[in-house]
Structure 1
């Protein structure tokens, strides 16, 4: 039986390939516009609930892309994409401690997971 983590990893790879292989046999990377489309279509509620104050979605996505594009070649290979996922996961985890309504991006009855991280 496939675990939740294994399923999630398979899904990540599938989504990456959906956007990185728009031109079959010519590339296996994400151009900036492909990356932007991927994030906007597959991380909508995370974007709304993790958006740093004072940033628009486009600015936040641009920042994620720039940080991940380590070799500054203007596109992301899968390894670089993995750093973006780590950043999104960290932001989502931190935001999960404050419930958020994904529809508005504002505090509400969202997905807080109900535990603390301090000493017991």
Structure 2
């Protein structure tokens, strides 16, 4: 694949990630301000500056939008952890796992996917 296509794919993935984050932040803000049952998906779409249809491209339900995507752990990192690594000290290994889960650079384009 030409490098320009890879760059475009990377930019597109980053934009998707940012849109998903924006939707979740707006959903959490609306839930905190008005209560979960007291805001509509239309209000969420307006707050996140996306169409209602776009909401469903990112999250199947309002609850999923409020909770957001969970952190992603790649198979190699998980295998290392299960094998007793990377340091061999459980608490230190847990800290390293948390760092990996919340590092936006650790991913195949969409770091917060299920």
**TM-score with structure 2 setting the length:** 0.29
Q: Which has the larger radius of gyration?
A: 2
Q: Which has the higher strand share?
A: 1
Would you tell me which structure has more helix in proportion to its own residues? 2
